[in-house]
Structure 1
Amino acid sequence: MVMPRGHGHGTTTAKRPTRRVNTAESSRRTCGGPLSTVRKRATYAVVSALILTLNVTAPSWAISLPAWTTLPSTTALQSSIANGAGATILSSALLSPTKPKPSYSIGALELVGQNTCMQRGHFLTIDPALVAPCVLGDRRAAKTVVLVGDSEGEMWLPALNIWGLQAHVKILRYVYIACPPWHLPLASSTPNWTNCSTKWHNYVEDAIQKLHPYAVIATGMPDVAQEASTKNSLSTVTAGMSDFFRAIQSATPRRVILSNIPWFLTTSRTPVACAMFNRTALQRCNGSPRTSLDATMTSAIQSTVANKLATVLWTKQFFCTETVCPVVVANRFVYSDSHHLNYDWSLYIARAFGQKLSPLLGLPQLP
């Protein structure tokens, strides 16, 4: 079930008055006269037909996505990561990137045929960072999976979209950048984030209760806005995570946490900057599971799972060997900054990711 825009908030869209156009006058205003008008109409017809064709043939934002069978399986991905862990030289293809694709949001072409993903109504006027809901994966599927998160959730969308298309699952995205789903206190340095801790959390949890989705996937940082003067304690993060899952517990029996990826928050350079600086000594930039996986988040997730509030997909396997988390794998930058995976990497690991996610949700094993 896909919620209409403005879900439950009485949002309406005013109709614009019809404007009559004098064709002859319009033609005279263009440098090409009537012929220009004909050309414009022909071009418009071709573009409209193309968009209509894309809508029919692509039930989701599947345009320009890699085919499932071209992506590495779980085993093949681990082999690629191991090779990356031993690499020392940055590939010439990555030496001079114009910008190493840090974006993990939806491209314009991929939005063909969709209504806007921005939530209309008073939420948007209060805080334009709100983005929900947006439908990805197989938009005609009967099963709906809800993704809830901050930017840590947003960065998984390329992988989730490809998985949804392959597994025939519809994905509803509920993302508020810098606002994790966990019920966390606001730091004194972030007094303007009450929308996150009150309106947004209530909105998402109410929506999930009404949807009764097949499953909910949640992920996020341990702090609101990631600008807090002090980091939240383990007990605070654990309580906040537990409170979120208790709030949606009756809506769905399938609740999954995506564990945090390796973070490079304490290094002097981001992974990409480090790789560019150490292009003949990449090993200096790599992280490790011990130093790059946040211990607070790991412990909070373990407690939540032990209390049977959720299951977890440990994501270390998509980034690290047992000892090394390389920053470059298969001629790709793995990370876009200190704590987000790269768009290209999210696409690249989609098959391996899906092969691990489907069984957790009681879905058939994917090839």
Structure 2
Amino acid sequence: MSETATRAGTATARQVVNQLPYRYDLDGLRGIAIAFVVVFHVSVGRVSGGVDVFLLLSGYFFLGSQLRYAAREDASPNPWWPVWRTVRRLYPALLVVLGATAAVALWRVPQMRRVEIIDQFTASLLYFQNWELAAQAADYNVASGTVSPLQHLWSMAVQGQFYLLAIGLAAGVIWARRAGLDLTRWVTPFLLAVTLASFGYSWWMHLVDQPLNYYSTWTRMWQLTLGGLLALHAHRLSIHPRLREWFALVGLAMVLSTGLLLDGASLFPGPAALYPVGGAVLLILGGGRGPVAGWLANRTMRWLGDIAYPLYLWHWPLLILSLVLLERESVSLPLGAAVVASSIILADITHRLVEKPLRQHSRRPLAGEPRAREARAQLRTSRDARARAAGGGALALVLVALLTVQGVWQVRLHNAGGVLLDAAVYPGARALTGAEVPDVRPKPDPELMGSMLSQIWTEDCISRFGDDPRVLPVDNRREDCVFGDPDGTRDVYLVGGSHAEQWVIPLNVLGKEHGFRVVPLVRQSCPTFVEERDGLFEPDCAEFNRQVLDRLDEADPDLVVSTTTRPFIEQGGRVEEVPDSYPTFWEFLAARDIPFVGLRDNPWKTFGDASELSVPLCYLDLEDAYACGLAENEFYQSADPAADYLDGMPNAKAVDTSKWFCVDGHCPAVIGNVHVYRDSNHLSVPYAYSLAPLLWEEIAEFL
């Protein structure tokens, strides 16, 4: 075939692609997909698969339109126009919903005034909410008063990130053609490779880390690029009309039945997501004809498609804030119906008064068109244009205000974490030994405590989930991870998990005062043992412990400190026990004549099913230190169970810390005007600091 014929064929193909009829039935599909998301969130508490369909359609419409434009000979390579058009499409409704949510959450719902929620506002505004939720290790949870009202915006973040990539791909194709290189023929192989690679990655991640798999842009990419491939090639397939009708019918049935058959939060976007996505693919292959397509394209379904985006934005904040404000633990039928109805009404109002007026309605400019000059002229001559500009300016102020909130919160957090409390006014644990307790509000601010961490966390001196268990952080950070007196001649090693880690705060104070070094060898959710006998701890924990044991054997420290009890919350337990794995470590130390101080664990505040109950959030809600505490016998046994083991071992001591947290049979949320906990079971930094004198009385004999 001659070069002229090839060019003619390419031009003809481009013309056909650019003249494809609009698929109104897919607008209806988008609407019903989001409607099912809302209904399942409110009434069933499961993931319906509607978001997976929504992402496929986003790829179909957006990537398809970008590549069809890029195929034009007179296309402009300037990416500003599609970016600006996308901003005007996505941001107005998002800013309205986020502004309203912030107003209610920050001023009427104290439980939502938490640093992680504030961070999520910024992440949602800047379209990285999926990565923020992953960084916060926030599983995709069913509706409750403790769940973030912004949790659902992870999918909008994935979509926004994909839009930028799609714009970049189309601009690259246009620039390459201007440079004499036609990349059009390589777009399909590229998208096919990305789709297969992303799907394979999502399959692997489903087995390795499903929470991250659910949020990741890269595991979700296949759903979007598959939509782009369908936009480019579905119309080319020759399928019998009757078969197309069956495709549409079966596809719709698959989409609608997903939430009844599959739990998407634990399965998608892995192989199981082929079920809802495959149903949407069949509907696309149905060609937009037949009774199913006609039903999806009717006026009501198209209206539902029009309001799908604001409906998705509104429903989850309304649901979560309603549960909190009405103090409900679950969604009743009347409440669910009210949330759905309110979401639909607000979505329709948002679509009519915000989305449509501020959306970019004119077609995308071609190369050389002076569109910016025309826009400036409209501002001078058109009242509607000035009204749109004023509306956009108002929303820009909302954007600035919401972005400012995180900065203000970070300043508050810095100030709270960097100033020691006045011991005369906030004695903390010293109140247990007779210190006077003035009548003042407790500190620090419970809104901030969840993010006030010890230096072990801030200096990366703890091995975290996902870190290489063969590496001890102290070897990487060296001087930064040695606390107390760096020039001290005696060594105290702190080992175990996060409940041992928190004792670095008073040990650091005592080390500086009494001239000993504090070396932490700690890992999240990883108590120290020689042999795992409980079936509770991960293989990575056993590997990490092998490194810890080798280091202790080599270092021969003057003292080792760790915790000795914990509840078996993994099995629904709420009362402390000594796991069978723990004594294997104590025997290891005894065999080497290494002194050991074992600290009885502090209380864990839990619901009846052993799930965590945040003490600071409880106090924000009730402002009652007694009600937000717990009875001593809810957590503690009548005597320290570790003493039976340690009292008979040489150079070992069991320290009963229950008297440091409980008074007259009750363990309150506040002691000595200081909040005791930063979450449901970890000590706040100021309270741990106030424990230094009590801890020294127990370890002084070894040092």
Provide TM-score, normalisation by structure 1: 0.62
What residue is the counterpart of 1:258 in the other structure?
599
What residue is the counterpart of 1:106 in the other structure?
455
Higher helix share: 2
For the residues of structure 2 that align with 1:287 and 1:233, how far apart are their CA atoms?
A: 12
For the residues of structure 1 that align with 2:441 and 2:684, how far apart are their CA atoms?
A: 17
For the residues of structure 2 that align with 1:264 and 1:129, how far apart are their CA atoms?
A: 32
| Contact 1:147–1:218 (CA under 8 A) maintained in structure 2 | yes
For the residues of structure 2 that align with 1:130 and 1:247, how far apart are their CA atoms?
A: 19
| Contact 2:565–2:577 (CA under 8 A) maintained in structure 1 | no
Post-superposition offset of 1:202 = 1.5
What residue is the counterpart of 1:274 in the other structure?
618
Name the CA shift for 1:98/1:322 in 2 (closer, same or farther; >3 Å). closer
User: Which deviates more from structure 2 when the two are superposed, residues 214-223 or residues 160-169?
Assistant: 214-223
Partner amino acid, structure 2, of 1:184:
E
Deviations 1:126-178 (A, max 9, x none): 35996446311011111101111100011111111001111211111010110
Post-superposition offset of 1:350 = 1.8
What residue is the counterpart of 1:91 in the other structure?
441
What residue is the counterpart of 1:212 in the other structure?
556
Post-superposition offset of 1:283 = 2.2
| Contact 2:469–2:544 (CA under 8 A) maintained in structure 1 | no
Partner amino acid, structure 1, of 2:626:
Q
> How do 1:63-102 and structure 2 match up within 5 A?
76-79=431-434, 91=441, 97-102=446-451
Deviations 1:215-262 (A, max 9, x none): 111226647xx773466999972x422211112224344111011012
For the residues of structure 2 that align with 1:127 and 1:176, how far apart are their CA atoms?
A: 9
Partner amino acid, structure 1, of 2:627:
R
SS at 2:518 equivalent: strand
SS at 1:284 equivalent: coil
For the residues of structure 2 that align with 1:65 and 1:236, how far apart are their CA atoms?
A: 37
What residue is the counterpart of 1:249 in the other structure?
590
Residue from 136, 152, 155 that aligns with 2:502: 155
Structure 2 residue 643 is the aligned partner of structure 1 residue 302: yes
Larger Rg: 2
What residue is the counterpart of 1:18 in the other structure?
none
Residue from 180, 184, 187 that aligns with 2:532: 184
Name the CA shift for 1:340/1:323 in 2 (closer, same or farther; >3 Å). same
Partner amino acid, structure 1, of 2:500:
G
What residue is the counterpart of 1:40 in the other structure?
none
For the residues of structure 2 that align with 1:275 and 1:234, how far apart are their CA atoms?
A: 24
RMSD: 4.0
For the residues of structure 1 that align with 2:677 and 2:466, how far apart are their CA atoms?
A: 29
For the residues of structure 2 that align with 1:69 and 1:232, how far apart are their CA atoms?
A: 33
Post-superposition offset of 1:212 = 0.8
For the residues of structure 2 that align with 1:205 and 1:145, how far apart are their CA atoms?
A: 15
Residue from 608, 628, 631 that aligns with 1:288: 631
Partner amino acid, structure 2, of 1:202:
R
Higher strand share: 1
What residue is the counterpart of 1:45 in the other structure?
none
Give structure 1 stretches of 5+ with no counterpart: 1-62
| Contact 1:148–1:173 (CA under 8 A) maintained in structure 2 | yes
What residue is the counterpart of 1:195 in the other structure?
540
Percent of paired sites with the same residue: 20
Partner amino acid, structure 1, of 2:433:
Q
Report which structure shows greater RCO (CA 8 Å, sep ≥6): 1
Name the CA shift for 1:159/1:147 in 2 (closer, same or farther; >3 Å). same
For the residues of structure 2 that align with 1:176 and 1:214, how far apart are their CA atoms?
A: 21
For the residues of structure 1 that align with 2:420 and 2:432, how far apart are their CA atoms?
A: 15
> How do 1:165-184 and structure 2 match up within 5 A?
165-182=512-529, 183-184=531-532
Post-superposition offset of 1:200 = 1.5
Name the CA shift for 1:106/1:235 in 2 (closer, same or farther; >3 Å). closer
For the residues of structure 2 that align with 1:102 and 1:129, how far apart are their CA atoms?
A: 26
SS at 1:249 equivalent: helix
| Contact 1:138–1:170 (CA under 8 A) maintained in structure 2 | yes
Post-superposition offset of 1:319 = 1.6
Post-superposition offset of 1:106 = 1.1
| Contact 1:213–1:251 (CA under 8 A) maintained in structure 2 | no
For the residues of structure 1 that align with 2:534 and 2:511, how far apart are their CA atoms?
A: 34
SS at 2:482 equivalent: strand
For the residues of structure 2 that align with 1:77 and 1:292, how far apart are their CA atoms?
A: 20
What residue is the counterpart of 2:681 in the other structure?
339
For the residues of structure 2 that align with 1:254 and 1:140, how far apart are their CA atoms?
A: 21
Post-superposition offset of 1:207 = 0.8
Deviations 1:325-356 (A, max 9, x none): 12112332101111111111111222232233
User: Which deviates more from structure 2 when the two are superposed, residues 71-80 or residues 320-329?
Assistant: 71-80
| Contact 1:150–1:180 (CA under 8 A) maintained in structure 2 | yes
Partner amino acid, structure 2, of 1:196:
C
Deviations 1:34-87 (A, max 9, x none): xxxxxxxxxxxxxxxxxxxxxxxxxxxxx968599979697654335x969xx9
For the residues of structure 2 that align with 1:221 and 1:317, how far apart are their CA atoms?
A: 15
